Amino acid sequence: MRSNKRSLWLGLALAAGCALGQVFGAPARADEPADAAETTANANQPQEFPQGILFPYSLLDAALTGQVEDKNGFISYVNYLALQKNRALDLFVQAVATADLSKFPVLPKKVVAKDKQGREVEQTLEDHSAELVFWINAYNAHVLKAIATVYPITTPDDIKDFDTAKTHRVAGKDYSFAEMRKKILSLDPRGFFALSDGTLGGPALRSHAYRLTNLDGELDFATKLYISNPNQVQLLMLEKKTTVNPILQEVDEYFASKGARRKWDGIRQLLVNYSSVSSSQHFYINNDDYQIAFARAIRTLNRDPNSKPVAGG
């Protein structure tokens, strides 16, 4: 019995790439995950997966292997047809469904804040980064799986109640995408910009799973990438007007200043803090009276528009 358990865990370790350096660092090589997934696929059901910082994010890496990357390390278009029978994606979704969130460590985090007298004081807060990484990757995997299952479609909106149906199993409970986003926003609102919604108007999908290593920098980069994309945010200086994608309405309250009363203050704070275009940032800092308008949402599926999904599709 002990020998069988050991063999099972060796197979899982291979599939997950759960050596500590790999979990925290770069993803496994592209030529490794496929064999690893096959090893895990032969394990007895129900399968057990490593938890906490050893969670098998390399399975998501394997699922994304072969997708076309852009210069920033994000996926240009998703090949949903290739994901329909992707064993690594199936295994990762299974791991997400059976995850034990109590095994994800909560670490102490030192921050400097101001007290009521305006003096700087050091405080110790709880750092839920390990759980945040889990939720971001779980969300993206479920979006990929939900769309691939019914593909070909032209927009996620073709799926009934795509955003609100509680059909996605995470850590033993069923969630909707809207509920999962709310959870992620409560942990760190920048996490919103790491989430693919399956459309060309949503945040870009990273070409491999998020990990704890440099998570803060990765979330900053994903946020800046979206805010600085002229297809999502367009500044018209002469008109003193900024047109933004309407999905930013969902995150407005999370970025707003404490006690803010300006309309769309959270969006304004995003533009000031995360625009990587110096001229735009200068404008946002020095102009309080510009108008924020919302463009039409871009809901086209994020697949290559020049490819044919299937015959007759």
Residue in this structure with the two tokens 């405080």, named with its chain if needed: 123
Residues 6+ apart with CB under 8 A from 62: 28, 33, 34, 36, 37, 88
Residues lower than pLDDT 50 in the chain:
1-26, 28-44, 311-313
The upper half-sphere exposure of residue 66, i.e. CA atoms within 13 Å in the direction of its Cβ, equals 13
* Same domain membership, residue 139 and residue 69: yes
Q: What is the pLDDT of residue 49?
A: 93
The secondary structure of 195-247 as a DSSP string is ---SBTTSPPPBSS---STTHHHHHHHHHHHHHT-TTTEEEETTTTEEEE-GG
* Same domain membership, residue 145 and residue 64: yes
* Same domain membership, residue 236 and residue 93: no
Domain count, the chain: 2
Q: What is the pLDDT of residue 64?
A: 96
Q: What is the pLDDT of residue 309?
A: 58
Would 39 be classed as within a structural domain?
yes
* Same domain membership, residue 66 and residue 206: yes
Q: What is the pLDDT of residue 229?
A: 94
Q: What is the pLDDT of residue 45?
A: 58
- Burial string for 67-100 (b: 16+ CB within 10 Å, else e) reads beeeeeebbebbbbbebeebbbbbbbbbbbbebe
- Distances, alpha carbon 293 to alpha carbons 3, 241, 264, 281, 311, in Å: 64, 7, 10, 18, 41
* Same domain membership, residue 278 and residue 151: no
* Same domain membership, residue 71 and residue 13: yes
Q: Which of 178, 202, 227 is at the close of a domain?
A: 227
Would 302 be classed as within a structural domain?
no
* Same domain membership, residue 106 and residue 10: yes
Q: What is the pLDDT of residue 41?
A: 45
Would 304 be classed as within a structural domain?
no
* Same domain membership, residue 141 and residue 258: no
* Same domain membership, residue 83 and residue 43: yes
The secondary structure of the chain as a DSSP string is -HHHHHHHHHHHHHHHT-SHHHHHSSPPPTTSHHHHHHHHHTSPSSP----GGG--THHHHHHHTTPPB-TTSBBSS--HHHHTT-HHHHHHHHHHHT--GGGS--EEEEEEEE-TTS-EEEEEEEE-HHHHHHHHHHHHHHHHHHHHHH-S-SSGGGSTTTTT---EEETTEEE-HHHHHHHHHHH-GGGGGG---SBTTSPPPBSS---STTHHHHHHHHHHHHHT-TTTEEEETTTTEEEE-GGGGGTHHHHSPTT--STTHHHHHHHHHH---HHHHHHHHH-S--EEEE------BSS-TTS--STT-
Would 261 be classed as within a structural domain?
yes
pTM of the model: 0.83
Would 312 be classed as within a structural domain?
no
pLDDT in tens, 270-301: 999 999 988 999 999 999 889 999 999 999 99
* Same domain membership, residue 213 and residue 264: no
Q: Which of 227, 248, 279 is at the close of a domain?
A: 227
Q: What is the largest CA-CA distance in the chain?
A: 74
Would 13 be classed as within a structural domain?
yes
* Same domain membership, residue 247 and residue 161: no
- By the 8 A CB rule, do 63 and 92 touch? yes
- Residue 56 belongs to domain spanning: 2-227
* Same domain membership, residue 151 and residue 250: no
Would 310 be classed as within a structural domain?
no
Cα 206 to the chain's mean position, in Å? 8
Q: Which of 204, 227, 250 is at the close of a domain?
A: 227
Would 100 be classed as within a structural domain?
yes
